[in-house]
Amino acid sequence: MSKSQKSATGRPLHTRGITRRRALQGLGAVAGAAVAAPWVRPAIANEPIRIGMVIPFTGATGAYGPEMEKAARLVARQINEAGGLLNGRKIELTIEDSESIPTAGVAATKKLLEVNGAEAIIGYWGSPIAMASKQLILDAGKVMMVSCAANAVTEEPHNGHIWRFQAKSTQWGPAGAKIMLQNGQKRVAVLAQQNPFVISMVEPFKAEIERSGGEVIKEVVYNPDQPSYRAEVEETFGAEPDGVFIPGLLTDFTSIVKEYFRAGFETPITSLSISADANGKFLENVGAEIAEGIHHFQPAPPLSSQNYKRFLAEMGEPEDTVFLFAGNAYDQMSMTALAIEKAGTIEGKVWTREIMNLANPPGARTMDPLEGLELVRKGEEIDFIGAGSDCDFDAQGDQLNRHFLHRVIKDGKNSVVKVIT
C-alpha cells in the first residue's frame, strides 16, 4: 500500500439526486493536463474529471447499490487525496439511482452525460438497464463499464467502449447445472424470469445437464412483478422433478418461494444469490424455515486472496464479508483512473484503448490503484488485479477467469459449499 493511501473508516453519504452541476463546457476531444500531454488547454488544467455512476438503491435490486457506492467512492477519495490524475485534476464522482428499472436508468444516464458532463459512466447493475442506456453512451463517445451479465450488452460492435466487470450469463447456466448434478438431481425443471440476463443462461444450463446425462423435463418462463405465481409454481413443481432451477431477482423469487411453501412442495431449489441472498434480504423476506435448504450461487471475488482481504480492510468490513458487487465497482473506478492517466487524456476513444494493456498480463501485478498510478507515471507496464476479479478481458470487453461461489441456506444462515471454476 502506498504511504499516501488511506483506509476507509466510515460509510460515505449517498448523493443521488444532488443539485445538478453545470454541464462541462467544450465536450469532445478534450485532453488531460499531464506533462506527457502538451496539447492540453491551460484553461481546463484544473477542471475535475467527471465520472458518473448508475446503480440501484431502490426497487428489486436496490440491496447492492450502497456497497457499490462505498467502493467507488473509496477509490475516488484515495486518488484525490494522493493528488488526483493528469497532474492534479481531481475525480468528481456523481451517482444516480437506476431504481432497478430501465426508464430510470436511461434518465440517469442522460442526466450524467448532458448535465454533469461525465467522461465515463460505471456501475450498471442490471442487464435491462445497461441495454437501454448503452447507445446513449456510445453516441456520446464515452466509456461504459457494467456489472451485468446479459451477453447482448457486449455482442454488438462498440469499438472498445464497453467493459464488462462480471461473468456473462451464458457462463452462469453451467455453474447452476453443476451444483444440481452434484446434488444428485438428474431430472430437473427450470422456472425462469423473462429478461435477457436470465433467458441467455437457460440454454447453457440445459446443455450442461444433458451433457452429463441428465434431462430438463419442464421449462416455464414467467414475467416479473406478477401479482401471483401460483400457476407457474404448480406447473413446474407438479412435474415432479428432482430439483428446480429458479433464476430471477429478489422480489419475484420471494413470492415464488412463499407460494411453493404454501403449496407443500418439497422439491429442492437452486437459484442465484441475487435472489436467494441479496445481502440478507431474502431471509428477511421469508424467514429461516421457508428458506432452509435452498442452494444459490453467484460470480464472486477470490475470497481467500490477500487482495480481497486488503479490500475488506479498506472498506472497514469484517474479514468474512462476501461482497458480490462492491469489488466490481472498486475495479471499475480503478481501471478508469489508470487508463486516463496512462493515456494522458480524458478523451474516451483514446483512453479506452489502454485498458487491455493495463488489465491483462504481462506487467507488474498490483491491486492498489495508487501503486498502479505510480508505476504508470514511471512508464512501467502493469497487470492490475482487482478486488472483484483478476480483471482480465477478451477483445470484446468481457471478463475472463471468473469464479462462482456456491452457498446453501442452513439454520437461517448462508453457508459456503465450494468455489466453482
What structural domains does the chain harbor?
Answer: 42-167+305-384 (3.40.50.2300), 169-299+403-420 (3.40.50.2300)
Question: What per-residue confidence (pLDDT) applies to 74?
Answer: 98
Q: What mean pLDDT, rounded, does the chain reach?
A: 89
The mean pLDDT value for 61-90 works out to 96
The mean pLDDT value for 205-216 works out to 97
Question: Do 271 and 296 touch, CB atoms closer than 8 A?
Answer: yes
Which DSSP state fits 331?
Answer: H
Give the confidence band of 44 by pLDDT, cuts at 50, 70, 90: low
Gap between the Cα atoms of 385 and 312, Å rounded: 15
Distance of CA 347 to the CA centre of its chain: 24
Which DSSP state fits 345?
Answer: B
- Higher per-residue confidence, 252 vs 2: 252
Q: Which of 32, 12, 125 is nearest to 72 (CA)?
A: 12
Question: What per-residue confidence (pLDDT) applies to 305?
Answer: 85
Question: What per-residue confidence (pLDDT) applies to 22?
Answer: 31
Interaxial angle between packed helices 196-211 and 127-139, expressed in degrees from 0 to 180 and rounded to the nearest 10:
120
Q: How do residues 259-308 score in pLDDT, each as one tens digit?
A: 999 999 999 999 999 999 988 999 999 999 999 999 999 998 888 888 89
Gap between the Cα atoms of 278 and 53, Å rounded: 20
The full length of the chain comes to 421
The mean pLDDT value for 24-50 works out to 48
Which H/E stretch holds residue 146? strand 143-146
* Residues above pLDDT 90, as percent of the chain: 80
Give the confidence band of 25 by pLDDT, cuts at 50, 70, 90: very low
Question: What per-residue confidence (pLDDT) applies to 33?
Answer: 35
Angstrom distances, CA of residue 380 to CA of 258, 343, 393? 56, 13, 20
pTM listed for this prediction:
0.82
Question: What per-residue confidence (pLDDT) applies to 278?
Answer: 87
- Inform me whether the pLDDT recorded for 70 exceeds 90: yes
- Inform me whether the pLDDT recorded for 166 exceeds 50: yes
